């Protein structure tokens, strides 16, 4: 029995197999939750003293011992043991070693099942606040660049074909809107993360007169959970977070694809600082946009973890099962990946340099003001379908002659409709085209600046 875990080995007649001990241990990865585990234990001890299960002296001894353990861990002096399986039992064993039998009283009225569920929620809550902060920093950077580039004209695309001219600032505000939805989803998820399962014990609650509302208040939870069975087995909050993270990473991946395209020689719309790029070991001319490419790749990693957690939970009967040990590594990796990608983007986006002339020249190609010509004809009384046909024939002529609409002479345009007059060139310019979209959500420079102002108010109110 000397090799059996003394925290639970009373009914066992032989030691756990050495391989099984290593195979079932989680301390190598769940030790990152040490701070939350100690925080939860301190609150639990205070509650036990409040309801009379512990004396004040026992409470103070436990709190002092836990603080010593915390200090040891943060100094790097703590020795983690695989034999003790997880972060919880390592800390409890260290506490008992420091303060004696009183340390064994800490686990009164709780189980590892509700303890780990509480630790994960506390940990995720802390990390989500970091993520939300980095997301806001990225959004602030986008607004700065969008305001700076409010007048910079570039081609807008559908099907990756030139469609209509837009401003670079307007394009970046589209990214902002995606991220704003992500921010809202994370905040909404946080409401469900911030429910306290502690007190559910193994699965049925406890016979001790615990005060769960008091513990929840100490730990900053909105309220205790309602059902003990669900409390210890629920991982919806982790899945929901990973789903929100997957969408956020999808948005960063889409932005990454555009950054990669824009930095290519074929587009040459922007420049990324050298510190966000790498070179080639064989081609000396290369400047590779590795940060956007890697973020694009990491989106698949996060999506995979979401599927992993969904699959983990899909066949579990109530209540807790050992399967749930497999929830942590995917969740932790999603947290780490998301924080890293957001930090990289928040640092990189403000450093983007636009190549305005290249963007403008690209917008002049591909008949990007064709819709403006159709709208011009409609305002002159031509039915839209007829205007569409007229412009289509004008474009076909332009392709033959290698001329954009704005490069044609008035007589050339009038061969397709005598409704066209000299004022048509006001709408065929790129500046005229973007300025005409002067409404909320439009690409007009004044609207871009107004949208930036509204967005800044949103961020300031957080």
Rounded to the nearest 10 degrees, what angle do helices 168-193 and 445-460 cross at? 20
Domain ranges of the chain: 15-108, 113-360, 365-460
The reported pLDDT for the residue numbered 23 is 80
Distance of alpha carbon 154 from its chain centroid, rounded?
A: 28
Does the bond joining 319 to the residue before it have cis omega, within 30 degrees of 0?
A: yes
Topology classification of domain 113-360: Fumarase C; Chain A, domain 2 (1.20.200)
Neighbours of 354 (CB within 10 A): 19
**Which phi and psi angles does 291 have, rounded to 5°?**
-65, -50
Query: Does residue 5 have a pLDDT over 80?
Result: no
The reported pLDDT for the residue numbered 279 is 82
Residues 6+ apart with CB under 8 A from 148: 169
Residues 6+ apart with CB under 8 A from 8: none
**DSSP bridge partners of 353:** 271
Q: Which residue has the tokens 């064994």?
A: 104
Domain spanning 15-108, CATH class: mainly alpha
pTM: 0.92
The reported pLDDT for the residue numbered 281 is 77
Domain spanning 365-460, CATH class: mainly alpha
Query: Does residue 95 have a pLDDT over 80?
Result: yes
Q: Would strands 161-167 and 223-224 be described as parallel, antiparallel, or unpaired?
A: unpaired
Neighbours of 179 (CB within 10 A): 20
The reported pLDDT for the residue numbered 16 is 66
CB 319, CB 113: distance < 8 Å: yes
Give the pLDDT confidence of 381-425 residue by residue, as tens digits: 999 999 999 999 999 999 999 998 989 999 999 999 999 999 999
**Which phi and psi angles does 195 have, rounded to 5°?**
-115, 135
Q: Which residue has the tokens 């609409």?
A: 405
Query: Does residue 158 have a pLDDT over 80?
Result: yes
**DSSP bridge partners of 278:** 288
Annotation marks residue 159 as catalytic: yes
What's the CA gap between 96 and 235, in Å, rounded? 31
What's the CA gap between 444 and 440, in Å, rounded? 9
Give the pLDDT confidence of 248-306 residue by residue, as tens digits: 999 999 999 999 999 999 999 999 988 988 887 788 787 899 999 999 999 999 999 99
Query: Does residue 327 have a pLDDT over 70?
Result: yes
What's the CA gap between 238 and 228, in Å, rounded? 18
**Which phi and psi angles does 272 have, rounded to 5°?**
-100, 140
Burial 361-391 (b: 16+ CB within 10 A, else e): ebbbebbbbbbbbbbbbeeeebeeeebbebb
Give the pLDDT confidence of 212-235 residue by residue, as tens digits: 999 999 999 999 999 999 999 999
| pLDDT band with cut points at 50, 70 and 90 for residue 1 | very low
Nearest residue to 331 via CA among 124, 147, 183: 124
Residues 6+ apart with CB under 8 A from 445: 150, 151, 167, 169, 434, 435
The reported pLDDT for the residue numbered 283 is 82
How confident is the model over 415-437, as a mean pLDDT?
Answer: 93
Annotation marks residue 231 as catalytic: no
- Secondary structure (3-state) at 196: strand
Tokens coding 229: 């069975």
Nearest residue to 260 via CA among 382, 348, 370, 152: 348
Catalytic hit among 44, 88, 107, 159: 159
The reported pLDDT for the residue numbered 14 is 66
């Amino acid at each position: 029995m000397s090799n059996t875990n003394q925290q639970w080995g009373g009914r066992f007649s032989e030691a756990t197999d050495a391989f099984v001990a290593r195979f079932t241990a989680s301390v190598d990865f769940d030790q990152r939750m040490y701070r939350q585990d100690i925080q939860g234990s301190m609150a639990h001890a205070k509650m036990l003293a409040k309801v009379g299960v512990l004396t004040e002296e026992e409470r103070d001894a436990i709190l002092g011992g836990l603080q010593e353990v915390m200090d040891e861990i943060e100094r790097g002096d703590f020795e983690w043991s695989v034999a003790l399986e997880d972060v919880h039992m390592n800390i409890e064993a260290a506490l008992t070693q420091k303060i004696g039998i009183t340390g064994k009283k800490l686990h009164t009225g709780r189980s590892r099942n509700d303890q780990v569920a509480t630790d994960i929620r506390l940990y995720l809550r802390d990390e989500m606040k970091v993520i939300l902060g980095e997301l806001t920093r990225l959004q602030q950077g986008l607004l700065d660049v969008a305001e700076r580039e409010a007048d910079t004209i570039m081609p807008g695309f559908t099907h990756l074909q030139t469609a209509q001219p837009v401003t670079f600032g307007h394009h970046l505000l589209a990214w902002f809107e995606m991220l704003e939805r992500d921010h809202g989803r994370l905040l909404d998820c946080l409401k469900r993360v911030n429910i306290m399962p502690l007190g559910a014990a193994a699965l049925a609650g406890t016979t001790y007169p615990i005060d769960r509302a008091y513990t929840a208040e100490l730990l900053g939870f909105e309220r205790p959970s309602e059902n003990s069975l669900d409390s210890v087995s629920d991982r919806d909050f982790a899945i929901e977070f990973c789903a929100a993270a997957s969408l956020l990473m999808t948005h960063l991946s889409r932005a990454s694809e555009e950054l990669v395209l824009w930095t290519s020689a074929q587009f040459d719309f922007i420049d990324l600082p050298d510190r966000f790029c790498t070179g080639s070991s064989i081609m000396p001319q290369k400047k590779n946009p590795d940060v956007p490419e890697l973020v694009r790749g990491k989106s698949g990693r996060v999506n995979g973890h979401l599927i992993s957690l969904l699959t983990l939970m899909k066949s579990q009967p109530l209540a807790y099962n050992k399967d749930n040990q497999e929830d942590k590594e995917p969740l932790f990796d999603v947290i780490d990946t998301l924080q890293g990608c957001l930090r990289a983007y928040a640092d990189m986006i403000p450093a983007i340099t636009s190549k305005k002339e290249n963007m403008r020249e690209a917008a002049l190609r591909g008949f990007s003001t064709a819709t403006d010509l159709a709208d011009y004809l409609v305002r002159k009384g031509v039915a839209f379908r007829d205007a569409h046909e007229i412009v289509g024939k004008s474009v076909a002529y332009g392709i033959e002659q290698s001329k954009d609409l704005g490069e044609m002479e008035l007589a050339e345009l009038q061969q397709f409709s005598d409704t066209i007059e000299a004022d048509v060139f006001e709408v065929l310019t790129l500046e005229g085209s973007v300025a005409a979209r002067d409404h909320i959500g439009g690409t007009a420079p004044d609207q871009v600046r107004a949208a930036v102002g509204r967005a800044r108010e949103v961020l300031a109110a957080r």
